Amino acid sequence: MAEKVKDEVVAEDIYTAEEFAQRPEMFGDGGRDYTVLAAFRYAGKDKATKTEAQEIVARFRDKKVGE
């Protein structure tokens, strides 16, 4: 009999913007708590996974003035 292969979905934990703001260093050098909070506010989110949060903050930090 053939062995079934299970598709394992690894679910990431979800944290609030405030929790991420307590660890701004996870977003790179020069990370600040207020930058993390501003990025979440700009994205219209208040919770995210670690992966999503890194994308949100990276997009915010890469924005040009006037965009």
Contact 39, 57 (CB under 8 A): yes
Q: What's the DSSP call for residue 49?
A: E
Q: What is the pLDDT of residues 34-55, one digit of tens each?
A: 999 999 999 999 999 999 999 9
pTM: 0.78
Rounded to whole angstroms, the Cα distance separating 4 from 67 reads: 50
What span, in angstroms and rounded, lies between the C-alpha atoms of 64 and 62? 6
How much is the pLDDT for 7? 60
Confidence of residue 31 (pLDDT cuts 50, 70, 90): confident
- pLDDT at position 66 is 79
Residue 62 pLDDT more than 70?
yes
